[in-house]
Structure 1
Amino acid sequence: MEASGLRASFREVLLSRRRNLQVPLTVERGSPVKDPLYQGGTATGRSEAMESCPRKEVGNLKEKLVEENFYLITELGEQGRVPVLLLKLNDTAPKRKPVIVFLHSSYKCKEWLCPLLEAYASRGYISVAIDSRYHGERASNNTTYIDALKSAWRNGDTMPFIFDTVWDLIKLADHLSEREDVDPCRIGITGESLGGMHAWFSAFVDTRYSVIVPIIGIQGFRWAIDNNKWQARVDSIKPLFEEARIDLGKSEIDTEVVQKVWDKIAPGLDSQFDAPFSVPMIVPRPLLLLNGAEDPRCPEPGLQEPVSRAAKAYEEVGSADKFTFIAEPGIGHQMTANMVKEASDWFDRFL
């Protein structure tokens, strides 16, 4: 299928569960979050990888940073209120700056990304982060995200795994494109793990994201099912699959359970929108894929087809230099300082 057709199909899936929820995009003022919510017992200490991000020496950086906290209203309902954190240098030139959107991993929140936001802002970028659906300010307790996944399985009326946040990121691109301080032709996007998947699908469906760096996020969902390598991904949100197993009368989670869950909560994730088909559609925009060679959630053998297809697509349009895949040896499902540096260099080169 051509890119335009596949994008239209994906947008139709997004619209299928929100036809009665649409509202004009509006902005509400917010305030800094004093006590960010981290779910599921995730580590909330320092991230040496993020803190290693290249930054420009700016005297009194904290005092020179402008911080904006606001909400984008992307649809009706409490999850239609997207918390946004924006950082930029308080300087006058240039008037319109490049912007990079940063997306957190499962169970974390936008505040977790502050070391990256500050580092990129010091170098003249506008740095933006949002709370993904059912995370951060969009969560009320330690199990909000898992509860939302279970509800999606039971009721089939929401898509909290990847797709609904992609809707928000389309709306975020609307907002950023209209801002007087943003160069609308220079909007980059990156994320870690779940955030990497958000970056991948947002860039696939919305060409306004012009430079893309998914970190430990790309995987072949169908490959994992066909090759019985789905366990690590399933384990990251296991209570959802346990609920489905019980509902389906199974004694253990198996391939059928996995496939039925994806079909219900993210239709097409393991078929027409899977990595071999959607990743090459990002062509000719600069795309850097960063993974760990030993990552069980994003197994490298399952990336061979999407990577080869993407490389071919970029070569065919004379843009082979705008696509790179790096699998860091000996690294599992972890964002490393090397990945942070590679991403930084990629944005500096192309954005």
Structure 2
Amino acid sequence: MRRSLLSVDRQPVRWTRAGSAAGESRAKSRRPQHRPLERLHRMPHMVQEYFVEQAHRFERSRLERLAKLSTKADAEAYVQGVRKKIREAFGPFPERTPLNPRVTRVVERDQYRIENLVFESRPGFFVTANLYVPQGRPFPAPGVVGTCGHSRNGKAAEPYQSFAQALARLGYVVLIYDPIGQGERLQYPDENLKSRVGVGVREHLYAGNQQLLVGEFFGSWRAWDGIRALDYLLTRDEVDPKRIGVTGNSGGGTMTTWLCGVEQRWSMAAPSCFVTSFVRNLENELPADIEQCPPKALALGLDHEDFLAALAPKPVILLAKEKDYFDVRGTEAAYQRLKRLYRLLGAEDHIALFVGPTYHGYSKENREAMYRWFNRATGASQAETEPPLVIEKDETLWCAPRGQVCQLRSRSVFSFTR
């Protein structure tokens, strides 16, 4: 119990000459046990409690500002304000350079085709992606950018190729891409094309921690990949630029949320299993990946919901889970505040919340809630449920030789950082 960690043995110790066996024995018997650890642990949660208190202070200030909003003009000014703050947190993005896209394989299926392709989000920095194009549908069709969570195999993970395939079967053109350090984009591959440091979070931390030393934010790099994915999607004649959505789960929910804040071309969004609040995450001592902590976000008065507010009044649905480690209480509170903001903007029916009954993940229930929401916004389909799916093998979705961009001599994050 914590009380035992705070107790300190204050009995004096009488040290004797080292040559006295009896004295040495008595000294050992009186010597306090684990005293170094006790001294370190007298205030075991001091740093944690300090940061929680600071987060609460920033949150109180932000909630006070929100409470003062009473008119449509107030709400519009708030939206403009958070957009400006988000740009400050994420910093300037690089210059747009040629995408140089190339399709490396086409996979034909019954109701759609998959184009395996590579594009450059930065010069020589390759992004691997699958473009799902529906067959026998009128064009231009609505488009969706799919962002992935921390899956080892990135875009090929079952829940992620599931939503991409299902949307294609419902009439959407979907571009889903591998995150840095996942799928075909390992930054630290060994001779067997396996990660030297561990896929996903560890690859992100290795690259992101190095970037901190030179004033870069890994989350901005991740977001820029998403922006360039949208740039590519909008080059396709099959896509209606006025009907463009973004969705993802977990780490992909993070990216969906951040992308709502930094990019205004979206017409709808569905982040899953991420949106709660910084305070809830700190109180719960929830580990976070480096891209989930935007610089100065708290000091700027930003929270998760503000990145979605930046897209207001466009249609947004928050997807959560009852048993997720991203605290659903924070999700519900964020939804209520967003609902009030949307009400002031005259678009209360453009914000929604769906809470699935199970644990963390882009489960079928949450995917179906996303389909219904996007269908409502676009009119692409009347379907209420997920169509039958055929899950592809990872190799079928590979865009690069042997499934790694290093085989294409892609530059690494480190090559830019150093």
CA distance in structure 2 between the aligned counterparts of 1:336 and 1:66, rounded to whole angstroms: 24
Q: Within the alignment, does 1:6 sit opposite 2:82 as a pair?
A: yes
C-alpha contact (below 8 Å) 1:222/1:270 kept by paired residues: no
- Kindly tell me: are residues 23 and 188 of structure 1, through their superposed partners in 2, closer, same or farther at Cα, counting changes over 3 Å? closer
Quote the offset at 1:307 in angstroms. 1.7
C-alpha contact (below 8 Å) 2:89/2:297 kept by paired residues: no
Quote the offset at 1:187 in angstroms. 0.6
Equivalent positions of 1:206-221 (< 5 A) are 206-221=263-278
Quote the offset at 1:292 in angstroms. 0.9
Quote the offset at 1:274 in angstroms. 2.0
Quote the offset at 1:262 in angstroms. 7.7
Quote the offset at 1:2 in angstroms. 3.6
2:319 equivalent in structure 1: 290
- Kindly tell me: are residues 349 and 155 of structure 1, through their superposed partners in 2, closer, same or farther at Cα, counting changes over 3 Å? closer
CA offset digits 1:245-290 (Å, max 9, x no partner): xxxxxxxxxxxxxxxx789x63134454421432322211111111
Equivalent positions of 1:244-255 (< 5 A) are none
1:88 equivalent in structure 2: 133
CA offset digits 1:268-323 (Å, max 9, x no partner): 34454421432322211111111112212x10222344222211111112211111
- Kindly tell me: are residues 147 and 176 of structure 1, through their superposed partners in 2, closer, same or farther at Cα, counting changes over 3 Å? closer
C-alpha contact (below 8 Å) 2:143/2:239 kept by paired residues: yes
Q: Residue type of the partner of 1:303?
A: T
Equivalent positions of 1:216-231 (< 5 A) are 216-225=273-282, 228-231=283-286
Number of residues of Structure 1 aligned to a counterpart in Structure 2? 287
CA distance in structure 1 between the aligned counterparts of 2:232 and 2:277, rounded to whole angstroms: 31
Q: Within the alignment, does 1:150 sit opposite 2:206 as a pair?
A: yes
1:173 equivalent in structure 2: 230
CA distance in structure 2 between the aligned counterparts of 1:268 and 1:301, rounded to whole angstroms: 24
Among 311, 317, 324, which residue is 2:345 paired with?
Answer: 317
1:278 equivalent in structure 2: 307
- Kindly tell me: are residues 10 and 307 of structure 1, through their superposed partners in 2, closer, same or farther at Cα, counting changes over 3 Å? same
2:364 equivalent in structure 1: 337
Q: Where does the alignment leave 5 or more consecutive residues of structure 1 unmatched?
A: 35-60, 238-260
- Kindly tell me: are residues 144 and 300 of structure 1, through their superposed partners in 2, closer, same or farther at Cα, counting changes over 3 Å? closer
Equivalent positions of 1:67-216 (< 5 A) are 67-76=114-123, 80-91=125-136, 93-108=137-152, 109-112=154-157, 113-139=160-186, 140=189, 141-142=194-195, 143-145=198-200, 146-156=202-212, 157=214, 158-160=216-218, 162-216=219-273
Quote the offset at 1:32 in angstroms. 4.9
2:12 equivalent in structure 1: none
C-alpha contact (below 8 Å) 1:221/1:269 kept by paired residues: no
TM-score normalised according to structure 2 size: 0.62
Quote the offset at 1:122 in angstroms. 1.6
C-alpha contact (below 8 Å) 1:220/1:270 kept by paired residues: no
Quote the offset at 1:89 in angstroms. 2.2
Percent identity of equivalent pairs: 22
2:375 equivalent in structure 1: 348
TM-score normalised according to structure 1 size: 0.73
Q: Residue type of the partner of 1:328?
A: G
Quote the offset at 1:26 in angstroms. 1.7
C-alpha contact (below 8 Å) 1:199/1:213 kept by paired residues: yes
CA offset digits 1:74-132 (Å, max 9, x no partner): 2245xx322221011233x5231101122221134112222222222122111210111
C-alpha contact (below 8 Å) 2:112/2:133 kept by paired residues: yes
Q: Secondary structure at 1:171's aligned position in 2?
A: helix
Quote the offset at 1:5 in angstroms. 4.1
Q: Within the alignment, does 1:24 sit opposite 2:97 as a pair?
A: yes
CA distance in structure 1 between the aligned counterparts of 2:217 and 2:106, rounded to whole angstroms: 26
| Superposition CA RMSD, Å | 2.7
- Kindly tell me: are residues 305 and 25 of structure 1, through their superposed partners in 2, closer, same or farther at Cα, counting changes over 3 Å? farther
CA offset digits 1:225-250 (Å, max 9, x no partner): 2xx2133x34xx5xxxxxxxxxxxxx
C-alpha contact (below 8 Å) 2:142/2:173 kept by paired residues: yes
C-alpha contact (below 8 Å) 2:119/2:127 kept by paired residues: yes
CA distance in structure 1 between the aligned counterparts of 2:220 and 2:173, rounded to whole angstroms: 25
- Kindly tell me: are residues 271 and 111 of structure 1, through their superposed partners in 2, closer, same or farther at Cα, counting changes over 3 Å? farther
Q: Secondary structure at 2:171's aligned position in 1?
A: coil
- Kindly tell me: are residues 174 and 12 of structure 1, through their superposed partners in 2, closer, same or farther at Cα, counting changes over 3 Å? farther
CA offset digits 1:42-96 (Å, max 9, x no partner): xxxxxxxxxxxxxxxxxxx81452322222322245xx322221011233x5231
